[in-house]
Structure 1
Amino acid sequence: MNFIRNTLGVLMGLGVAAVIISLGVRIDSSWSESYNGLSPFEHWEKVLYSVKGDSGFFWTLLFSSGIGATVGGIVTAIVVKYAKVAYAILIGFMMLFIAMLDIIIFPYHPTFYKILIFIIYFPFSWIGGKVVEIIYERKKQHLPTK
């Protein structure tokens, strides 16, 4: 039963992170002109090519990735029963893997994005898991023992 719960927690965390990142990509309407209102990830190469010189897009993408990793780590840590921080960090590993595939497949990312993406996912997903772990530990300390 824990396997199903843990798998569900990881999938939920990834889903929440993906929604937050996609909302970050949609902040500026000029970025969405290249894909005509469809999902930006269906035409990701066109989006990246159209914002190639716009560093604001990539800073927004980094910011939303950090927020997404944190909230995804929180959601994962809430759902799983044990090893909350470890599963939250797993979210960071998976998101970094996806980001690295994106960087390898589509060559339109600036150098600062390629470097900072490593710094974003692990610490922010760890923070999300750690927040939940601290809250749960404080809750345990305040419970009366019988």
Structure 2
Amino acid sequence: MFKELQSKVNAILSNADSSIENRLQAVCELLKTTVPHYDWVGFYFKNGDKEELKLGPYAGKPTDHTIIPFGKGICGQVAISNQNFVVPDVSAQDNYIACSITVKSEIVVPLFLNGQNVGQIDIDSNTPDPFTGQDERFLEFVNQNVAKIIQGYLE
């Protein structure tokens, strides 16, 4: 499944006739509708010079968490650690920000631009412990390709 998705993601991201925001939104929608255990898919980006993340394009239920301070929740921890964070059971995490009572697990993969952590892709799942190394590799692939187009988007 992920091999097929890679070419679809590249096709979306390489469509220069579409705005960066629209391309990122299309990637979120594609992942949410195609991967059965991806119930919420979104991008968070560093909010200027502030030590916080700001919600970008996403697909899924609206969230109140449009700003996340560094260190808070899974996303905020990834902003500091620069490491993938896979949470098989969100109820077992002390530093977790609940977006919905239906969420059972989460994966967050940092997005690097010129060696700097500038954001991340965040996936919530209503399925307990669904994420594998294949999810991680695929989301790293997505972020590497998003990084190629977002230089101007973040400025």
Q: Do they superpose with TM above 0.5? A: no
Q: Which has the higher contact order (CA 8 A, sep 6+)?
A: 1
Larger C-alpha radius of gyration, 1 or 2? 1
Greater share of strand: 2
Which bracket does the TM-score occupy, shorter chain normalised?
A: under 0.3
- Larger helix proportion of the pair: 1
